[in-house]
Structure 1
């Protein structure tokens, strides 16, 4: 019986932490596109680049060449990416977060 409680004492905090890290930010509270980008995207897209496929950066010319011109296009790619990119479904990045990330990408890298 003690071993079950010990196991639960270890597992419950891990599950709660993992669930909270995937949850949407507080409803009604502003979300920083830059912070969300840094949290979810910058490991592969630092400074708008692309560590996996250098032909698919987040800069205006490269995105246009790949058929990505709008925030909706960016979100569509986040939700259903091609080979090499992590898929960010609604349980990983909420629609609200995806919209601010897309707006940030367009503002920061499409000059």
Structure 2
């Protein structure tokens, strides 16, 4: 009986960990520095000075499908519309850190 329970628990553990996405290991503190140096001119306080409705506030990020690290990384890397691409100015790690910072601030309502 112990063997069966052990096998079942092991199976559950393997199944659980096999389908959990990898941790997003970015550094929001470093992202804040990169944000201040590269993004704040258009996005001070989470706003968007070019297109006000497309701010970095949580509700706007959710509305436009950008409330995830992957989506923010793609937006910053490739740019879109009025936003320039930062792939040649920033390293991938810096962009990941900015994404972590933006998500953290969005969750805190940029306070």
Which bracket does the TM-score occupy, shorter chain normalised?
0.5 to 0.7
Any stretches of 5+ residues in structure 1 without a counterpart?
1-30
Q: Name which one, 1 or 2, has greater alpha-carbon Rg.
A: 2
Aligned residue for 1:100? 97
Aligned residues: 80
4+ residue runs of structure 1 moved beyond 3 angstroms? none
Q: TM-score, normalised by structure 2?
A: 0.67
- After superposition, the CA RMSD in angstroms is 1.2
Matched, 1:109 2:98: no
Residues in 2 aligned to 1:77 and 1:44: alpha-carbon distance in whole angstroms: 14
List alignment gaps of at least 5 residues for structure 2: 1-28
CA contact (8 A) 2:73 2:96 kept: yes
Per-residue Cα deviation, 1:79-103 (whole angstroms, up to 9, x for no partner)? 22221112111x3111100011100
TM-score (norm. length: structure 1): 0.67
Partner of 2:73: 75
